[in-house]
Structure 1
Amino acid sequence: MRAAADPSHRGLAAGALAPGFADPVLDAQAVFRAVMEALARPGTPQRLALSLAPPSPLPPALAAIALALADHEAPLWLDAALAAEPAVAGWLRFHTGARIVADGREAAFALVSDPATLPPLDQFALGEPAYPDRSTTLVLACTRLEAGRGLVLKGPGIRDVARLDAVPLPEGFVARWRANGALFPRGVDVILASGDRIVGLPRTTTIRE
């Protein structure tokens, strides 16, 4: 992970000086493991040990995932609510070294604080047939994330079926996700986050209501 820049850098937003991980190496490794486990076991919530206080309105779970996974080679896209706060972009640049991009097709990760405003999925990188990993992972903030009820999930990493109650989700999410799955091996992956819980939805997962 890229080392933090000199905090005296001219033009650095005041919010960028807020602390990141207490232990950048161990904390990033722990978040990375949780994300990988979430994507390997779709629909099964994983917990993050969160001690971050990022600039508002960036949720701590989204911040932790960005700090663990974004860097100078993995740009970030921010939804309108996050992009409207300069301190958010400044804090993310300072702690990750990642570029903040306006075009979702250039982003390795998209941070979405308000799922209702999520653009169509084809406005993000969908990968290429030979390089399906060159796609965007969407990280969506939810107010509720509970297993055992709600949407029905099937696919690799799920024994029989899993059920997931996630609120809010983008309008027409199930139909959008079906179209995303039809692109396999291309397509986006999604991580849902609420409080200290995350759930992975890789493109191989099918969802029905």
Structure 2
Amino acid sequence: MADTMVSSTLEGGFADPVFDAQAAFSAIMNAFARPGTIVDLAGLARPPAPVPPAAGAFLAALADYDTPLWLDEAALGAGIAEWLTFHTGAAIVSDTAAASFALACDPSALPPLSRFAGGTADFPDRSATLILCLPDLRDGPPLALTGPGIEREAFANPQGLPDGFLAGWADNRGLYPCGIDVLLVAGSEALGLPRTTKITER
């Protein structure tokens, strides 16, 4: 049993660390540069279930010793902490405000967005990116997106956003240039929401 647990912790990282990290990084940057665009991160990382492969690929590509990670109870229960420590070297922190990246696998238990690091006026880049795991990115209520990276209007249909998310997002957007960015993930797919994006219900 112990060997099986160790093996599951060691497995599932990038098969080709340089190429796979570049592929993941390029896809993620495209998602944030073009809000509403769904990118596919399939075949890159296999984190412990039920953590979505897209979340594993994001963190394997971007997390390191200098990026503290916050994990919700559902993520901790999946054993992702050990996987991330082995594959990225990132420290796991219990304080949302101390995290550079945050992984929430249970949307219903998501803390208010204001609890995550939003940066400062002098250093707005010292803010967190929240990876929010959802059931699906295509079959939820329609949302309209406007802002930088969108020519006129884009549309998204994420399923399972927590109650109060849109109100919290409006407050977050009002903090610009501070505020957090959010990556919505479901399975191998991801959709970026930079802090500049305005979201309204259709």
Would the TM-score normalized by the shorter structure come out above 0.5? yes
The equivalent of 1:189 in structure 2 is 181
1:106 alignment counterpart: 98
Equivalent of 1:129 in 114, 121, 129: 121
- CA deviation digits over 1:8-47, x for unaligned, max 9? xxxx955322231110111011101111110000011111
User: How far apart are residue 147 of structure 1 and its match?
Assistant: 8.9
What is the alpha-carbon distance in structure 2 between the residues aligned to residue 43 and residue 147 of structure 1? 14
Aligned equivalent of 2:89: 97
Percent identical across equivalent pairs? 51
**Residues 35-80 of structure 1: CA deviation (Å, up to 9, x unaligned):** 1110000011111132433222322111111100000001111111
- The CA RMSD measured in Å over matched residues stands at 1.8
Could you tell me which residue of structure 1 aligns to residue 75 of structure 2?
82
In structure 1, distance between residues paired with 2:130 and 2:120: 17
Please give the per-residue CA displacement for 1:117-150, whole angstroms capped at 9, x wherever unaligned.
Answer: 1101121101001111101101111211129970
Aligned residue runs from structure 1 range 40-59, under 5 A: 40-59=33-52
Cα distance in 1, alignment partners of residues 186 and 12 from structure 2 = 21
2:10 matched residue in structure 1: 17
Note the residue ranges of structure 2 that are not aligned, 5 or more in a row.
Answer: none
Comparing 22-31 with 145-154, which one deviates more in the overlay? 145-154
CA distance in 2, matches of 1:129, 1:35: 25
Q: Paired residue for 1:6?
A: none
Instruction: Find the aligned partners of 2:182 and 2:163 in 1 and give their Cα distance.
Output: 15
Number of aligned positions between the proteins: 197
- Residue among 179, 188, 193 paired with 1:201: 193
Once the 2 structures are TM-superposed, how far is the Cα of residue 184 of structure 1 from its aligned partner?
0.7
